[in-house]
Amino acid sequence: MGAMKRALIFSAFVLAHAVIAREVPFNDVLLNPARFNKQHVTITGIAEVVGDDFYLWGDVAARQRFEPKTSIFVLQNFSLPRYPGTNISRYSPANFRWAKFTGVVNTNFHGRFGELPFGLMLERVQILPGLRLKQFLDIIVWFKNDTSHELKMDVRSKPIERFFDISPGEVSSTEINVDQRATVELTLSNKRFATWKMNPALSKRFYDAEKRAYYCRITEGKVALVFPFEARGWKFSPTPERD
Protein backbone atom coordinates (compact mmCIF):
# COMPACT_ATOMS: atom_id res chain seq x y z
CA MET A 1 0.00 0.00 0.00
CA GLY A 2 1.50 3.35 -1.03
CA ALA A 3 2.14 6.10 1.49
CA MET A 4 -0.36 8.46 -0.19
CA LYS A 5 -3.12 5.86 -0.14
CA ARG A 6 -2.44 5.07 3.50
CA ALA A 7 -2.54 8.77 4.33
CA LEU A 8 -5.96 9.12 2.71
CA ILE A 9 -7.28 6.07 4.55
CA PHE A 10 -5.88 7.43 7.79
CA SER A 11 -7.46 10.86 7.36
CA ALA A 12 -10.85 9.52 6.36
CA PHE A 13 -10.96 7.09 9.28
CA VAL A 14 -9.83 9.49 11.99
CA LEU A 15 -11.98 12.42 10.89
CA ALA A 16 -15.05 10.23 11.05
CA HIS A 17 -14.73 9.76 14.81
CA ALA A 18 -14.83 11.84 17.97
CA VAL A 19 -11.58 13.15 19.35
CA ILE A 20 -12.07 12.21 22.99
CA ALA A 21 -9.58 9.50 23.98
CA ARG A 22 -9.45 7.47 27.18
CA GLU A 23 -6.40 5.75 28.60
CA VAL A 24 -6.56 1.99 28.18
CA PRO A 25 -4.06 -0.67 29.35
CA PHE A 26 -1.90 -1.98 26.52
CA ASN A 27 -2.92 -5.62 26.96
CA ASP A 28 -6.63 -4.77 27.05
CA VAL A 29 -6.38 -3.44 23.49
CA LEU A 30 -3.94 -6.11 22.32
CA LEU A 31 -6.05 -9.03 23.53
CA ASN A 32 -9.51 -7.66 22.72
CA PRO A 33 -9.25 -5.12 19.88
CA ALA A 34 -12.87 -5.64 18.76
CA ARG A 35 -14.02 -4.17 22.07
CA PHE A 36 -12.27 -0.89 21.21
CA ASN A 37 -12.86 -0.82 17.46
CA LYS A 38 -13.38 2.74 16.12
CA GLN A 39 -12.71 4.19 19.57
CA HIS A 40 -10.16 6.86 20.47
CA VAL A 41 -7.72 5.43 23.01
CA THR A 42 -4.43 6.38 24.65
CA ILE A 43 -1.98 3.52 25.17
CA THR A 44 1.36 3.55 26.99
CA GLY A 45 4.08 1.44 25.41
CA ILE A 46 7.51 1.30 23.79
CA ALA A 47 7.73 2.62 20.24
CA GLU A 48 9.71 0.99 17.47
CA VAL A 49 9.84 3.20 14.40
CA VAL A 50 11.48 1.62 11.34
CA GLY A 51 10.90 3.71 8.22
CA ASP A 52 7.17 3.63 7.47
CA ASP A 53 6.65 0.80 9.96
CA PHE A 54 5.71 1.65 13.52
CA TYR A 55 5.10 -0.88 16.29
CA LEU A 56 4.20 -0.59 19.96
CA TRP A 57 5.45 -3.04 22.56
CA GLY A 58 3.92 -3.50 25.98
CA ASP A 59 7.21 -3.90 27.86
CA VAL A 60 10.91 -4.63 27.49
CA ALA A 61 10.44 -8.40 27.74
CA ALA A 62 7.96 -8.39 24.85
CA ARG A 63 10.44 -6.58 22.59
CA GLN A 64 13.19 -8.98 23.64
CA ARG A 65 11.04 -11.93 22.58
CA PHE A 66 10.24 -10.07 19.35
CA GLU A 67 6.97 -11.81 18.56
CA PRO A 68 5.06 -9.46 16.20
CA LYS A 69 1.65 -10.64 17.39
CA THR A 70 2.43 -9.28 20.86
CA SER A 71 2.87 -5.80 19.35
CA ILE A 72 0.40 -3.21 18.09
CA PHE A 73 0.90 -1.93 14.55
CA VAL A 74 0.60 1.84 14.22
CA LEU A 75 -0.50 3.53 11.01
CA GLN A 76 1.23 6.91 10.85
CA ASN A 77 -0.31 10.00 9.34
CA PHE A 78 1.65 10.15 6.09
CA SER A 79 0.13 13.49 5.13
CA LEU A 80 2.31 15.15 7.78
CA PRO A 81 5.85 16.30 6.93
CA ARG A 82 8.86 14.12 7.65
CA TYR A 83 11.31 14.80 10.46
CA PRO A 84 13.05 18.11 9.63
CA GLY A 85 16.08 17.71 7.40
CA THR A 86 15.43 14.03 6.65
CA ASN A 87 13.17 11.71 4.68
CA ILE A 88 12.36 9.58 7.73
CA SER A 89 9.31 9.45 9.96
CA ARG A 90 8.44 12.54 12.00
CA TYR A 91 7.91 10.13 14.89
CA SER A 92 11.51 8.82 14.79
CA PRO A 93 12.50 10.56 18.06
CA ALA A 94 10.09 8.18 19.85
CA ASN A 95 12.01 5.12 18.66
CA PHE A 96 12.63 2.77 21.60
CA ARG A 97 11.24 5.30 24.05
CA TRP A 98 8.34 4.90 26.45
CA ALA A 99 5.49 7.13 25.34
CA LYS A 100 1.73 7.63 25.33
CA PHE A 101 0.14 6.96 21.94
CA THR A 102 -3.29 8.32 21.09
CA GLY A 103 -5.28 7.14 18.10
CA VAL A 104 -8.23 5.17 16.79
CA VAL A 105 -8.39 1.37 16.95
CA ASN A 106 -9.17 -0.11 13.52
CA THR A 107 -9.86 -3.85 13.20
CA ASN A 108 -10.11 -3.49 9.41
CA PHE A 109 -6.41 -2.64 9.16
CA HIS A 110 -4.06 -5.60 9.56
CA GLY A 111 -0.55 -4.22 9.45
CA ARG A 112 1.73 -3.78 6.50
CA PHE A 113 1.59 -7.43 5.48
CA GLY A 114 -1.96 -8.20 6.62
CA GLU A 115 -0.87 -10.58 9.36
CA LEU A 116 -2.00 -8.64 12.45
CA PRO A 117 -5.53 -8.51 13.92
CA PHE A 118 -5.80 -4.70 14.01
CA GLY A 119 -3.97 -1.39 13.88
CA LEU A 120 -3.90 1.95 15.67
CA MET A 121 -4.50 5.03 13.50
CA LEU A 122 -2.05 7.38 15.16
CA GLU A 123 -2.97 10.95 16.08
CA ARG A 124 -0.33 12.05 18.57
CA VAL A 125 2.65 10.86 20.58
CA GLN A 126 3.77 12.07 24.00
CA ILE A 127 7.29 10.86 24.80
CA LEU A 128 7.65 10.09 28.50
CA PRO A 129 10.66 10.98 30.69
CA GLY A 130 13.44 8.42 30.62
CA LEU A 131 16.28 7.24 28.45
CA ARG A 132 16.03 5.56 25.08
CA LEU A 133 16.27 1.75 25.31
CA LYS A 134 19.50 1.69 23.33
CA GLN A 135 20.03 -2.03 23.78
CA PHE A 136 17.51 -2.53 20.97
CA LEU A 137 19.23 -0.24 18.49
CA ASP A 138 21.08 -1.91 15.62
CA ILE A 139 24.83 -1.44 15.68
CA ILE A 140 25.86 0.72 12.75
CA VAL A 141 29.10 1.56 11.00
CA TRP A 142 29.76 5.02 9.60
CA PHE A 143 31.98 5.35 6.54
CA LYS A 144 33.73 8.55 5.49
CA ASN A 145 34.98 8.72 1.92
CA ASP A 146 38.30 10.56 2.09
CA THR A 147 39.09 9.90 -1.57
CA SER A 148 38.28 11.90 -4.69
CA HIS A 149 36.24 9.03 -6.14
CA GLU A 150 32.55 8.18 -6.28
CA LEU A 151 32.55 4.62 -4.89
CA LYS A 152 30.05 1.78 -4.86
CA MET A 153 29.80 -0.09 -1.58
CA ASP A 154 28.67 -3.61 -0.78
CA VAL A 155 28.45 -4.20 2.99
CA ARG A 156 27.71 -7.76 4.08
CA SER A 157 27.17 -9.15 7.59
CA LYS A 158 24.61 -11.94 7.57
CA PRO A 159 21.65 -11.61 7.27
CA ILE A 160 22.26 -7.96 6.31
CA GLU A 161 23.57 -6.81 2.95
CA ARG A 162 23.52 -3.20 1.79
CA PHE A 163 24.47 -1.61 -1.53
CA PHE A 164 24.96 2.15 -1.81
CA ASP A 165 27.12 4.82 -3.42
CA ILE A 166 29.32 7.14 -1.41
CA SER A 167 30.58 10.43 -2.82
CA PRO A 168 33.90 12.14 -2.07
CA GLY A 169 33.76 13.63 1.42
CA GLU A 170 30.42 11.96 2.20
CA VAL A 171 29.68 10.20 5.49
CA SER A 172 27.19 7.34 5.23
CA SER A 173 26.10 4.50 7.52
CA THR A 174 24.58 1.06 7.52
CA GLU A 175 23.65 -1.59 10.07
CA ILE A 176 25.97 -4.50 10.76
CA ASN A 177 25.70 -7.76 12.65
CA VAL A 178 28.75 -7.89 14.91
CA ASP A 179 28.25 -11.63 15.47
CA GLN A 180 29.28 -12.07 11.85
CA ARG A 181 32.52 -10.94 10.23
CA ALA A 182 31.35 -7.97 8.21
CA THR A 183 32.85 -7.68 4.75
CA VAL A 184 32.99 -4.39 2.86
CA GLU A 185 33.80 -4.31 -0.83
CA LEU A 186 34.27 -1.05 -2.72
CA THR A 187 34.34 -0.72 -6.47
CA LEU A 188 35.36 2.10 -8.78
CA SER A 189 34.35 1.96 -12.45
CA ASN A 190 33.34 -1.71 -11.93
CA LYS A 191 36.80 -2.61 -10.62
CA ARG A 192 37.68 -3.57 -7.06
CA PHE A 193 38.93 -0.54 -5.16
CA ALA A 194 39.30 -1.97 -1.65
CA THR A 195 38.12 -4.77 0.62
CA TRP A 196 37.79 -4.73 4.39
CA LYS A 197 36.86 -7.56 6.75
CA MET A 198 35.85 -6.84 10.31
CA ASN A 199 37.27 -8.99 13.07
CA PRO A 200 34.86 -8.61 16.04
CA ALA A 201 37.52 -9.43 18.64
CA LEU A 202 40.08 -6.97 17.28
CA SER A 203 37.48 -4.28 16.58
CA LYS A 204 36.12 -3.97 20.13
CA ARG A 205 38.50 -1.18 21.10
CA PHE A 206 37.07 1.01 18.31
CA TYR A 207 33.46 0.58 19.46
CA ASP A 208 31.44 3.63 20.49
CA ALA A 209 29.14 2.13 23.15
CA GLU A 210 27.20 5.38 23.64
CA LYS A 211 26.27 5.62 19.95
CA ARG A 212 26.34 1.85 19.32
CA ALA A 213 28.54 2.58 16.33
CA TYR A 214 31.85 2.03 14.58
CA TYR A 215 33.62 4.50 12.30
CA CYS A 216 35.61 3.71 9.16
CA ARG A 217 37.72 5.97 6.99
CA ILE A 218 38.10 5.19 3.29
CA THR A 219 41.38 6.26 1.74
CA GLU A 220 43.11 5.24 -1.49
CA GLY A 221 42.68 1.48 -1.72
CA LYS A 222 42.03 1.10 2.00
CA VAL A 223 39.25 0.95 4.59
CA ALA A 224 40.22 1.24 8.25
CA LEU A 225 38.47 1.59 11.59
CA VAL A 226 39.14 4.78 13.54
CA PHE A 227 38.48 5.68 17.16
CA PRO A 228 35.33 7.68 17.98
CA PHE A 229 37.33 10.81 18.83
CA GLU A 230 38.81 10.75 15.31
CA ALA A 231 35.31 11.04 13.84
CA ARG A 232 34.20 14.07 15.87
CA GLY A 233 34.53 16.47 12.95
CA TRP A 234 32.61 14.31 10.48
CA LYS A 235 29.35 15.63 9.03
CA PHE A 236 26.84 13.00 10.06
CA SER A 237 23.31 12.74 8.72
CA PRO A 238 20.59 13.37 11.34
CA THR A 239 19.66 10.25 13.31
CA PRO A 240 16.74 11.30 15.53
CA GLU A 241 15.79 7.64 15.96
CA ARG A 242 19.11 7.00 17.75
CA ASP A 243 20.21 10.25 19.42
pLDDT over 60 (residue 3): no
pLDDT band at residue 16 under the 50/70/90 scheme: very low
Domain carrying residue 39: 3-132
Q: Answer with the one of 132, 149, 184 that is the final residue of a domain.
A: 132
Write the CATH number for 36: 2.40.50.200
241 close to 93: Cβ distance less than 8 angstroms: yes
C-alpha distance from residue 139 to each of 64, 89, 104, 134, 215 (Å): 16, 20, 34, 10, 11
Q: When comparing pLDDT for 223 and 158, which is higher?
A: 223
Interstrand relation of 40-50 and 22-23 (parallel, antiparallel or unpaired): parallel
**180: which DSSP letter?**
S
pLDDT over 70 (residue 169): yes
pLDDT band at residue 6 under the 50/70/90 scheme: low
Q: What are phi and psi of 29, to 5 degrees?
A: -75, -45
Write the CATH number for 174: 2.60.40.2890
Among candidate residues 219, 231, 216, the one with its CA nearest the CA of residue 182: 216
pLDDT in tens, 59-99: 999 999 998 889 999 998 888 888 888 888 999 999 999 99
Q: What is the rounded CA–CA span in Å between residue 224 and residue 13?
A: 52
pLDDT in tens, 191-235: 999 999 988 888 999 999 999 999 999 999 999 999 999 999 999
Residue 180's pLDDT is what?
75
Question: Are residues 18 and 122 both part of a single domain?
Answer: yes
Residue 18's pLDDT is what?
45
Q: Answer with the one of 132, 149, 182 that is the final residue of a domain.
A: 132
